[in-house]
């Protein structure tokens, strides 16, 4: 690819630590090494639909490595192929992808860099199939993107969740309570698994393993009999009982993925207290896991992913996402990424590691 080309960057879905580090890496390498022009699409796919964008200069991305959030902003509801519009007092969904594609083509870009999770990259794949040259970068705190061993944002979220669990330990011990820490994880329990092990959780509940309340209550009572008059439960928001369903916090009608989970910790707490007779409290980590400065690991990973994305662009390897494979960076087709989230497999070694030190998974 000759010097002087133009690329665009878009950040979609939920925010997480490290997005700005990717924007910085892509932009700086593009400008410094290839004299490219970089356009930032504002507010995720909503900016593509409504033609909102701005040019990114070198100084715009200088000093943003440590910042959380995204300087381009984002949207969790904007999907060009299923866009919510209000008509006659009702919300209906329309396909406005042609408008988004026309706006992107008018920018005369050589590639669109889509930074996002499985939803964002699913849309990116559809745009690629409709003629837009696209390269993806895996972003999500949930670590659930197919085709990559890890995503940036995950390490930061685990760090924050673990710190919360550490702080909960002291009050749990002092008051002889069961303390429940609810973390994010809709379909995949990677945050709960990693932070639960790191924080010494006695019980870890994840979406991939439906739990039995009797087993959980018995674990709590057993610890109490042995003189451990407190228990720490780490639960992913998407965890559910055997034969039961997830706890839905709210429905966002204008979103193409309207279900918002949350509150399983409170439901779980009431049941544990009823079955065990031990006072129980719940703390929801919520959006604390998404905010703040990225960990050093995520800063390095985001920088690696961003610079590697530009390599794919230069080689005209469109329709791919940069992927982490062991200690190396590779690529995976967006078509493969679009097949759905990467959940925790039944033979995940960390589950066996946790069980070997006495951790209960409610089954």
> Mean of the pLDDT values across residues 142-160?
96
Backbone angles phi, psi at 76, to 5 degrees: -100, -5
Q: What is the largest CA-CA distance in the chain?
A: 72
> Mean of the pLDDT values across residues 228-246?
93
Tell whether 362 is covered by a domain: no
Alpha carbon distance 62, 299 (integer Å): 14
- In this prediction, residue 3 carries a pLDDT of 53
> Which of 231, 257, 291 lies at the terminal end of a domain, its last residue?
291
End-to-end CA distance of the chain: 55
Alpha carbon distance 119, 345 (integer Å): 21
Tell whether 357 is covered by a domain: no
**Residues 178 and 154 sit within 8 Å (Cβ to Cβ):** no
Query: Residue 289 above 60 pLDDT?
Result: yes
pLDDT in tens, 194-212: 999 999 999 999 999 999 9
Element (H, E) at 37: strand 37-41
Alpha carbon distance 241, 234 (integer Å): 15
pLDDT in tens, 300-358: 999 999 999 999 999 999 999 999 999 999 999 999 999 999 999 999 999 999 999 99
Same domain, 265 and 145: no
Alpha carbon distance 84, 342 (integer Å): 27
Same domain, 259 and 172: yes
Tell whether 352 is covered by a domain: no
CATH label of the domain that carries residue 79: 3.40.50.450
Same domain, 26 and 138: yes
Alpha carbon distance 350, 110 (integer Å): 42
Specify the DSSP class assigned to residue 188: -
Same domain, 66 and 90: yes
What would the two tokens of residue 267 be?
Answer: 């439901």
> Is 120 exposed, middle or buried (CB count within 10 Å of its CB: 0-12, 13-18, 19+)?
buried
**Residues 65 and 306 sit within 8 Å (Cβ to Cβ):** no
Same domain, 240 and 316: no
**Residues 338 and 125 sit within 8 Å (Cβ to Cβ):** yes
- In this prediction, residue 2 carries a pLDDT of 47
Summary count for the chain: helices (H), strands (E): 12, 15
- In this prediction, residue 161 carries a pLDDT of 97
Tell whether 135 is covered by a domain: yes
Alpha carbon distance 264, 182 (integer Å): 7
Q: Which residue has the higher pLDDT, 254 or 98?
A: 98
pLDDT interval class at 256 (50, 70, 90): low
Cα dihedral: 102, 104, 105, 108 (round 10): 150
Alpha carbon distance 260, 155 (integer Å): 23
Residues 6+ apart with CB under 8 A from 328: none
Specify the DSSP class assigned to residue 252: -
pLDDT in tens, 18-61: 999 999 999 999 999 999 999 999 999 999 999 999 999 999 99
Tell whether 121 is covered by a domain: yes
Query: How many domains does one find in the chain?
Result: 2
Same domain, 19 and 140: yes
Same domain, 318 and 266: no
Tell whether 133 is covered by a domain: yes
What would the two tokens of residue 360 be?
Answer: 């209960």
> Which of 261, 291, 321 lies at the terminal end of a domain, its last residue?
291
Alpha carbon distance 198, 207 (integer Å): 19
Same domain, 106 and 211: no
Q: Cα dihedral sign for 118, 12, 324, 207?
A: negative
Same domain, 284 and 302: no
Domain that holds residue 226: 156-291
Residues 6+ apart with CB under 8 A from 284: 182, 262, 263, 265
Tell whether 193 is covered by a domain: yes
pLDDT interval class at 104 (50, 70, 90): very high
- In this prediction, residue 4 carries a pLDDT of 63
Same domain, 201 and 316: no
Tell whether 21 is covered by a domain: yes
Mean residue pLDDT across the chain: 93
CATH label of the domain that carries residue 263: 3.40.50.460
Alpha carbon distance 165, 178 (integer Å): 12
Alpha carbon distance 143, 160 (integer Å): 15
> Which of 272, 291, 310 lies at the terminal end of a domain, its last residue?
291
Percent of the chain with pLDDT strictly greater than 90:
82
Q: Which of 142, 144, 155, 298 is catalytic?
A: 142
Alpha carbon distance 174, 170 (integer Å): 6
Alpha carbon distance 34, 47 (integer Å): 26
142 is annotated as an active-site residue: yes
Same domain, 221 and 181: yes
Same domain, 298 and 219: no
What's the pTM value of the predicted model, to 2 decimals?
0.93
């Amino acid at each position: 690819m000759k010097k002087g080309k133009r690329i665009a960057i878009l950040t979609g879905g939920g925010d997480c630590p490290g997005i700005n580090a990717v924007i910085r890496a892509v932009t700086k390498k593009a400008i410094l090494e290839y004299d490219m022009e970089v356009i930032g699409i504002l507010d995720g796919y909503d900016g593509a639909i409504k033609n909102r964008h701005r040019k990114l200069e070198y100084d715009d991305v200088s000093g943003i490595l440590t910042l959380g959030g995204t300087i381009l902003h984002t949207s969790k509801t904007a999907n060009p192929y299923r866009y919510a519009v209000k008509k006659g007092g009702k919300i209906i969904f329309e396909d406005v992808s042609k408008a988004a594609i026309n706006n992107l083509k008018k920018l005369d870009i050589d590639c669109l860099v889509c930074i996002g999770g499985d939803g964002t990259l699913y849309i990116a794949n559809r745009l690629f199939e409709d003629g837009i040259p696209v390269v993806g970068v895996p972003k999500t705190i949930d670590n659930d993107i197919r085709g990559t061993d890890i995503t940036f944002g995950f390490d930061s979220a685990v760090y924050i969740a673990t710190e919360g669990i550490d702080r909960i330990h002291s009050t749990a011990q002092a008051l002889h309570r069961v303390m429940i820490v609810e973390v994010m994880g809709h379909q995949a329990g990677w945050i709960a698994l990693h932070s639960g092990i790191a924080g010494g959780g006695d019980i870890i509940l994840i979406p991939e393993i439906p739990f039995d309340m009797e087993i959980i209550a018995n674990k709590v009572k057993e610890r109490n009999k042995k003189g451990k008059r407190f228990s720490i439960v780490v639960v992913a928001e998407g965890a559910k009982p055997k034969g039961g369903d997830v706890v839905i916090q709210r429905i966002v009608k204008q979103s193409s993925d309207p279900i918002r989970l949350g509150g399983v910790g409170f439901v779980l707490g009431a049941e544990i207290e009823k079955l065990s007779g031990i006072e129980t409290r719940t703390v929801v980590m919520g959006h604390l896991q998404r905010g703040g400065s990225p960990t050093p690991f995520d800063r390095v990973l985001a920088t690696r992913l961003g610079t590697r994305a530009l390599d794919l662009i230069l080689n005209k390897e469109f329709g791919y996402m940069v992927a982490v494979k062991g200690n190396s960076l590779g690529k995976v087709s967006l078509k493969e990424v679009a097949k759905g989230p990467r959940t925790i497999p039944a033979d995940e070694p960390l589950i066996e590691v946790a069980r070997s030190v006495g951790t209960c998974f409610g089954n």
